[in-house]
Chain A
Amino acid sequence: MNGFPILTLMLLVPLVGAVACLLVDATAARRIALAATLLDFVLGVVLWANFDIGGAQWQFTERVDLFAGFSWALGIDGIALLLIALTVFLMPVCIGASWTSIEKRVGEYMAAFLLMETLMIGVFAAQDLYLFYIMFEAGLIPMYLIIGIWGGQDRIYASYKFFLYTLLGSVLMLIAMMRMVNEAGTTDIPTLMAYDFDPKVQTWLWLAFFASFAVKMPMWPVHTWLPDAHVQAPTAGSVILAGVLLKMGGYGFIRFSLPMFPEASAQFAPLIWGLSMAAVVITSLIALVQHDIKKLIAYSSVAHMAIVTIGLFAFNAQGLEGSMIVMLSHGLVAGALFLCVGVIYDRLHTREIDRYGGIAINMPKYALFFLLFTMASIGLPGTSGFVGEFLSLAGIYQASSWVALVSTTGIILGAAYMLYLDRRVAFGEQKNADAAAMPDLGLRELAMMVPIAAVVLWMGIYPETFLAPMRQDIAALDARLARARPEGDARLKAGKAQPAAEHSATAAAHEGAH
């Protein structure tokens, strides 16, 4: 793969597809979009297959000094690889989810989605600070159009809120970036990740980046745009929003805030913990009382993202790895749950929980998948959710047992609202005749669900596949954070290993005593 610009190619494929979609009719646009996303998925597989685990930190690097002041610099490490893989995996599913439900202005819709894919891959692959910013911000335009044109009833309010909220969060980050480049004299992200800023300056820079990523993530209390955006967006829009866009916030923390400003990160860790704990408890409780399925899942997203921030700011390898896995897992699971909502929404055109009930009887396959993803969302062992949440919470326990305690309640509350949802939608008696008459999953819907379900189980049963590519990068980040790591309150010590013989002797003595 040496020298072959595969990342640029991955950016170009959807871009060319987007332009092509604008020029053709609906059927052809659907086909082009599916072909482009599948091709990008294949390229993603090639990318992963050629990624040298344990090799150089930055691979597939490309650099062309194309612009004044910044350059077309791409390259990935394990963290970016996983998130790119998530993106290219979810995109064909999104196109599939929109296959029949989008009837008006199909060409523009598919073009917006493909453009979105280009920008998302660009965010994860950018190695230049300003290139990252451009990709990061540009994503607002297609998403604004997706929500505003193809959304639900309050789509206009939701699209404005989404756009202005996230824009306001991001602009200050640009000024902080300029300040950094001014001091460090480079826009190269890997160089900046090793640059030591003065801790006093770090404080301000960190806050500016925080403003952006906290909104994107979203963290409590700046999460309010998310439920609106999710509820109003079309199914595929919700999938991509929950699946990938929210991960940009987490990616931002792990790529910028933590390695570039370790001291400031340590300084503000209590703030993050506080907000995350509040998010876990408050949004879980809010989710418990929702009548709208999409809103419920949106609030659960906020709670899950809080687990991510908790893991990130645990300042140890478990926490960091855990939050990466939570991000991947949540991307799949929340995406799949929104798909599930989309499936029944397509049939009944309502998201009211009360309008369903007992659909496990007429839609057994659907109920199976819905239950699986519900369980994965709760974090049942064997599913992807468990691995991530366990690692994150184990990580934070080393830093603060109180935070661990409060965040763990999120899992209990998560089980409560998800199981309650599943019970009301899929089980119980069939009180609504129209819901009882819905047909089960079709072939297209199965084709979307099965791959996600397979990966969710894979990640739950053998997470090593997903941990291996990023292990080295997490270790490097962990080493970088070591100097600023706050001392944990648990003061964990490794137990003294006793010699085996002595151990059995004491055991025997115990038995003897009885």
Chain B
Amino acid sequence: MDLSHSLRLIAAEELLSVSGLILLLASAWAGDKASRAISIAAVAALAAAAFLTAPALCGGLFGPETEAFGGQFRADAFASFAKLLIYASAGVALIVAPAYFERLRAMRAEYPVLILFAAIGMGMMVSAGDLLTLYIGLELNSLAAYVLAAFLRNDTRSAEAGLKYFVLGALASGILLFGMSLTYGFTGTTSFAGIRAALEGGLSTGALFGIVFMLAGLAFKISAVPFHMWTPDVYEGAPTPVTTFFATAPKVAALALTMRVALDAFGSQADAWRQIVIFTSLASIVIGALGAIGQANIKRLLAYSSINNVGFMLIGLAAATPRGASAMLVYLAIYVAMSIGGFVAVLMLRDAEGEPVEAIADIAGLSRTRPLIAAALAMVMFSLAGIPPLFGFWGKFVVFQAAVQAGLVPLAAIGIAASVIGAFYYLKVVKVMYFDEPADKVTGRSDLAHGILLALSALFISPLGYLLTRFLGQLADTAAAALFHAA
């Protein structure tokens, strides 16, 4: 594997790094008035990176041909699938931001640059073939994310969110590092393939601790119970465009990374970690659902909803089969669309002065004052609850199907029964919007770009989405096959 081949494989990352650096210089010289232009350039860079990444997915690439730098980096179909979702989410986070920040006069040119750097880090996470790549990618993403959470410098909630995110994120990184060091110590290697080969023979207690700590660290990043506490606070405090970003791209990256670690590095010891994943998944479903019930702020509610959804995705991981991995990817794609729809709808809720409306009580009777936003938000809610014929049902469907096919019928049965608890609070939002008398709070005008994004995601999660099931299923199958082939 010569260097030029390796460099070709990381073309998307190179492109993003170079454009990130150039845009950083541009922002330093041109200042904040150029932030719109820089945002547009950043979106273009993400789109170009997506074009560079897509062929690996369409071609279903995997194996040694896709490994760069001696197996440290894998540009296979799986990484490509995840990266496309990440780039799309990052692009959305860029598109929705200006309208929000400009009203507060807080739109700064660093925002798009930080998003770009985070995207590079996430791309490295999902392409990791080695514990070192994993950690570098994770930290690159996290450092950008800490700053983004605290982006509204004058807003105490935002600063608090940034600090919380940083402290807890650093703790999680420490736990992860500790797990990595144990794993390295007991297997003698940092490469996923090496760890897998070393664990094939059996699992020593030390290595088991390594697995447990690594999964705990990753559970922080995907905000799975019992490491979820930071999520509602950070989601509520961070500026809404940043929350949109947090709920989508880093989730995709962390989940894809978890899949790589669990199914590839620890793939030969699936029985050892399955119990942990099952516990985490059911706990996330139940606590995500129960925690959401009392929430009065819609961003907090969506934060709990994301915890709840991660629980469902982990059911696919517990299956530890290619079908399970494929199901998780399908769910991720649908989840990203639902989250974007939900947060963009929240972004569009403004009162007469243009201040954001976030209290659930304030959107009472929205169906009469802003019928289109209300309809889209209701679709998102029913979809998140997994009620057919909305597309969110399909995500749950494939995940449960994978679990049943892997013989985990009781897990599937408990998980789906617990999904009814979640339905309760999703219904509450619909009830407030449709059944209650109008509160006439949401009267402000909303941005056109937001409207278009909301319409697109609503279209995707509408029953028309089912027409995509074959296409999406094929892509996810290809990606999952690449993951298992690498293993």
Instruction: State the main secondary structure of chain B at its contact with A.
Output: helix
Interface membership of chain B positions 397-410, coded 1 if the CB is closer than 8 angstroms to chain A and 0 otherwise: 11011001100010
Does B167 interact with chain A (Cβ within 8 Å)?
no
Does B417 interact with chain A (Cβ within 8 Å)?
yes
Does A182 interact with chain B (Cβ within 8 Å)?
yes
Asked if A171 meets B389 with Cβ closer than 8 Å, knowing A68-B472, A179-B409, A182-B404, the reply is: no
What residue in chain B is nearest A107 (Cβ atoms)? Answer: B371
Q: Is B416's CB under 8 angstroms from A175's CB?
A: yes
Bound form: Cα–Cα A395–B464 in Å? 45
Question: How far apart are B315's CB and chain A's nearest CB, in angstroms?
Answer: 12
Q: Is A171's CB under 8 angstroms from B417's CB?
A: yes
Residues A122-174 near B (CB distance < 8 A): 130, 133-135, 137-138, 140-141, 144-145, 148-149, 155-156, 159-160, 163-164, 167-168, 171-172, 174
Max chain B CB contacts within 10 Å: which of A69, A175, A178? A175
Bound form: Cα–Cα A383–B378 in Å? 44
What residue in chain A is nearest B477 (Cβ atoms)? Answer: A68
Q: Is B469's CB under 8 angstroms from A67's CB?
A: yes
Max chain A CB contacts within 10 Å: which of B405, B419, B423, B424? B423
Question: How far apart are A198's CB and chain B's nearest CB, in angstroms?
Answer: 14
Q: Is B387's CB under 8 angstroms from A174's CB?
A: no
Does B467 interact with chain A (Cβ within 8 Å)?
yes
Q: Is B435's CB under 8 angstroms from A66's CB?
A: no
Asked if A175 meets B404 with Cβ closer than 8 Å, knowing A140-B387, A141-B382, the reply is: yes
What residue in chain A is nearest B409 (Cβ atoms)? Answer: A179
Q: Is A69's CB under 8 angstroms from B423's CB?
A: no
Q: Which residues of B contact A175 (CB under 8 A)?
A: 400, 404, 409, 412-413, 416
Does B420 interact with chain A (Cβ within 8 Å)?
yes
Does B291 interact with chain A (Cβ within 8 Å)?
no
Number of interface residues of B (CB under 8 A): 34
Does B473 interact with chain A (Cβ within 8 Å)?
yes
Question: How far apart are A466's CB and chain B's nearest CB, in angstroms?
Answer: 31
Q: Is B389's CB under 8 angstroms from A68's CB?
A: no
Q: Is B472's CB under 8 angstroms from A160's CB?
A: no
Interface membership of chain A positions 110-129, coded 1 if the CB is closer than 8 angstroms to chain B and 0 otherwise: 00000000000000000000
Q: Which residues of A contact B81 (CB under 8 A)?
A: none
Question: How far apart are B390's CB and chain A's nearest CB, in angstroms?
Answer: 8
Q: Is A69's CB under 8 angstroms from B382's CB?
A: no
Asked if A171 meets B401 with Cβ closer than 8 Å, knowing A137-B388, A148-B431, the reply is: no
Asked if A167 meets B387 with Cβ closer than 8 Å, knowing A69-B401, A134-B393, the reply is: yes
What residue in chain A is nearest B386 (Cβ atoms)? Answer: A171
Does B184 interact with chain A (Cβ within 8 Å)?
no
Q: Which residues of A contact B466 (CB under 8 A)?
A: 66-67
Instruction: State the main secondary structure of chain A at its contact with B.
Output: helix
Asked if A156 meets B388 with Cβ closer than 8 Å, knowing A168-B417, A172-B413, A175-B409, the reply is: no
Bound form: Cα–Cα A148–B365 in Å? 12
Q: Is B419's CB under 8 angstroms from A156's CB?
A: no
Does B470 interact with chain A (Cβ within 8 Å)?
yes
Asked if A167 meets B420 with Cβ closer than 8 Å, knowing A138-B387, A182-B405, the reply is: yes
Q: Which residues of A contact B470 (CB under 8 A)?
A: 66-68
Bound form: Cα–Cα A144–B381 in Å? 14
What residue in chain B is nearest A122 (Cβ atoms)? Answer: B389
Q: Which residues of B contact A145 (CB under 8 A)?
A: 434
What residue in chain A is nearest B436 (Cβ atoms)? Answer: A156
Asked if A167 meets B423 with Cβ closer than 8 Å, knowing A69-B473, A175-B409, the reply is: yes
Question: How far apart are A106's CB and chain B's nearest CB, in angstroms?
Answer: 13
Residues B420-446 near A (CB distance < 8 A): 420, 423-424, 427, 430-431, 434-435
Q: Is B388's CB under 8 angstroms from A178's CB?
A: no
Bound form: Cα–Cα A168–B385 in Å? 12
Q: Is A163's CB under 8 angstroms from B423's CB?
A: yes
Question: How far apart are A230's CB and chain B's nearest CB, in angstroms?
Answer: 18
Bound form: Cα–Cα A343–B463 in Å? 37
Bound form: Cα–Cα A174–B396 in Å? 11
Q: Is A168's CB under 8 angstroms from B420's CB?
A: yes
Residues A158-206 near B (CB distance < 8 A): 159-160, 163-164, 167-168, 171-172, 174-175, 178-179, 182
Q: Which residues of A contact B388 (CB under 8 A)?
A: 133-135, 137-138
Question: How far apart are A411's CB and chain B's nearest CB, in angstroms?
Answer: 37
Which residue of the partner chain, among B387, B423, B467, B473, contacts A66 with CB atoms under 8 Å?
Answer: B467
Question: How far apart are A139's CB and chain B's nearest CB, in angstroms?
Answer: 10
What residue in chain B is nearest A134 (Cβ atoms)? Answer: B388
Bound form: Cα–Cα A163–B398 in Å? 23
Asked if A138 meets B389 with Cβ closer than 8 Å, knowing A163-B427, A171-B416, A171-B419, the reply is: yes
22 A-B pairs with CB atoms under 8 Å apart are A67-B466, A67-B469, A68-B470, A68-B473, A68-B474, A69-B469, A134-B388, A135-B388, A137-B388, A141-B382, A144-B430, A149-B434, A156-B435, A164-B420, A164-B427, A171-B417, A172-B417, A174-B400, A174-B416, A175-B409, A178-B401, A179-B409
Top 7 A-B pairs ranked by shortest CB distance?
A68-B473, A68-B469, A134-B388, A178-B404, A171-B416, A138-B389, A68-B470
Known: A67-B466, A130-B397, A155-B435. 7 other contacts (CB 8 A): A66-B470, A68-B474, A134-B393, A148-B434, A148-B435, A164-B420, A168-B420
Interface residues of A (CB under 8 A from B): 66-69, 105, 108, 130, 133-135, 137-138, 140-141, 144-145, 148-149, 155-156, 159-160, 163-164, 167-168, 171-172, 174-175, 178-179, 182
